[in-house]
Copies of this chain bind each other. A is one copy, B any other.
Amino acid sequence: MQDEVILSLERMNTIHGIDKMSGILTCDAGVVLENLHSYAKSHNFLFPLDIGSKGTCQIGGNVSTNAGGQYFFRFGSLHATVMGMEVCLADGRILHLNISDDDDNAKRCGTNRKDNTGYDLKHLFIGGEGTLGIITKVAIACPVLPTSRNAMLLVCNSYENDVLELLQCAKNNLGEILSAVELMDYNTLECVQKHGLVGDCSASQLLKDLLDTPTQEQSSSTNSPLFILVETQGSHLENDTTTMDSFITQLFDNGTVQNGFVAQDNKQILEMWSIRESCNPCVSAEGCCYKFDVSIPVDEYMDVAYDVKSKLQQEESSVGDVRVCVWGHLADGNAHINVVTPGRHTKDINLAKRIETIVYGSVVSRKGSISAEHGLGQAKNEYLGQIKEKNTMDVMKQIRYTFDPHGIMNPNKYLPR
């Protein structure tokens, strides 16, 4: 730790407008994500990034950390949707990257969907975590607001046999209207039931019904039930509902799902999402949490958690009660693995190290990524140096030096020293 200046952009919170022909929204970096949702919606567009913390996080931080979230699968990464950017560099120079320096209106934001005039520098700042410059303004392309939304919560017995089949079936049968496939495991939903749902809507009966689903072979550790939230968004409610109904019928007919609940209205859709968004706070409430955000090839999605569980069990006497909870964006292969020591509140540094070694080892052996959508910060420095090729690390360091030769931007964070 050294003397540091923390910068808040929360007062740079102007939404400059949205171009109704292109759907490109231009705003300052300090705008709270949820305000962009409302603004885009009021102009018949959908803001293409959605994450649990939308009520407080700011778009500049989202872009700097390359946030992913539940719309990623359908509406694309920030590399796909950020069209323009204003950045302030370490030496005070300002870059306008496919964006105008003229604030008068979004129609004239000077942001083009296609622009091939030199290196596309803005991608370095997406996920650059402020180490190359401070994002002060962004232009983001929004699709037309879908008018029809459906959601269902399905219960499967086995990952290998059922969940993978469900996912393939969702991609093939729901096609272009599929908007999310989210997984939650049994341990996670038990925490949600115990610590209570966040948000306004009550989904406690639904949660109880989910957890009460009778399952086969529930005793096997790799076979406790898994809960899948499937959402569609489209333009024709009647068509979409028919499509979804035949999808669910097929899953029941071939025994892929054990149980399932279809949202009957928008309120019930929000209830399903409220269960999903309660995962993180409720698992955190259960005890001390060792949190991981990783990418894993989809057909080995649950295997990292199984590795952790079985390896920790081998040394259980020294570890005590440990629970592994998994949830995440299944369609993207993005798992949030949480190892919880119930009732404890302070981290055990040695245990943290052991769990990290198991998780990262298992992820790397499967050619996954140790950081999927939550950034590097300062916790992953050491591991980054181990898993990245030297050539890549060298180039990254050169890039950092090019932008910030005096090392004043987020010093000692992001890349290893």
Contacts and interface: CB of A to CB of B under 8 A. Distances in A.
Interface string A161-199: 000100110011111110000000000000000000000
Given A127-B119, A174-B235, A176-B176, A392 B97 contact: yes
Contacts of A370: 117
Contact of A392 (B95, B116, B175): B95
A374 interface: yes
Nearest to A74: B176
B396 A297 contact: no
Contact of A95 (B117, B374, B389): B389
Interface in A196-238: 233-236
Interface residues of A, number: 96
A107 B175 CA distance: 22
A262 interface: no
Contacts of A233: 176
A242 B117 CA distance: 41
B121 A127 contact: no
Interface of A: 19, 21-22, 44, 65-66, 68, 72, 76-77, 79-80, 89, 93-98, 100, 107-110, 112-121, 123-124, 126-128, 132, 144, 146-147, 164, 167-168, 171-177, 233-236, 239, 242-243, 295, 297-299, 329, 332-334, 367-376, 380, 384, 387-389, 391-396, 398-400, 402-403, 414-415
